[in-house]
Amino acid sequence: MTDASGISRAAHVDPGAVLGHGVRIAPAAVIYAGVVLGDNTVVGAGTVIHTGVQIGEGCVIEDLVVLGKRPRLRRGSSAAGIALPDLVLGGGVSICCGAIVYAGAVVGAGAIIGDQAQVREGAVVGERSVVGRASCVDFSAKVGNRVSIQTGVYVTSYAVVEDDVFLGPGALMTNDDTMGRHPKGEGLSAPIVRRAARVGGAVVMVPGVEIGEEAFIGAGAVVTRDVAAREVVLGVPARVLRQVADSELLENWR
């Protein structure tokens, strides 16, 4: 049953949590001490929100979501030592069923994190961006505003994805040429995808490549070297076919 406040009697809400006006919490949700829920936020059944999570106004947190999870790392992991401040969700964010958003991440206003998606510690997802079903934004990756990440995409750690980028279903980034056999302390080299670039389904981006502004990568390509602004590339390895036409530029599609 739910009382007049909108909070189910079958939910566990620690007295140390801060709840705004109009918050609704479904049965079996667990809200730990120190959590801040903004006005008119909805929390679904079975969701767990750990200490150190700040949620803005009007957010929708669906069923079986975990927010503020702390990473469990193997010895020597490159993610070790990442600072874990509060997880912060901007206003109007939607976190869909089964998603996990780690401590220390930031999700901008109006963003959507899809079913079973994962946003790791230190990652940033910008305003009005979408992270599709079962996609992963790995630790310390930076995703800009209005980015469309489709189903089953992997954005590797330390990657940079600028504003208005499209990443097609199954697109994959890598960041380690040695596949785990680099000297201790040597940094990783992640791809950079510049503003308004479009990356097709099942594209593979090798460590360190840069995809230029408004570039177009055809489905199934393997990007082994930098792609200049507005280049259209296809194939394995990806090779330049033509330039993106003026009529295709983002400014003509807003």
d(CA 89, CA 108): 6
Q: Which tokens belong to 89? A: 């969700």
CA angle, corner 191, sides to 117 and 54, nearest 5? 40
d(CA 130, CA 128): 7
Domains annotated for the chain, with CATH where assigned, are 1-70+85-134 (2.160.10.10), 157-177+188-254 (2.160.10.10)
Q: Return the bridge partners of 233, or none.
A: 217, 240
Query: Please, what are the averages of pLDDT over each run of 10 residues along the chain (254 residues)?
Result: 76 97 97 98 98 98 97 77 88 98 97 98 97 97 98 98 98 94 83 98 98 98 98 98 97 90
d(CA 196, CA 252): 12
pLDDT of residue 229: 98
What global pTM score does this model have? 0.94
The single-letter DSSP state of residue 236 is T
The CA-to-CA distance between both ends of the chain, in Å, stands at 46
pLDDT of residue 5: 73
Q: Which residues of 158-185 are buried (b: 16+ CB within 10 A; e: fewer)?
A: bbbbbbbbbbbbbbbbbbbeeeeeeeee
Total residues belonging to the chain: 254
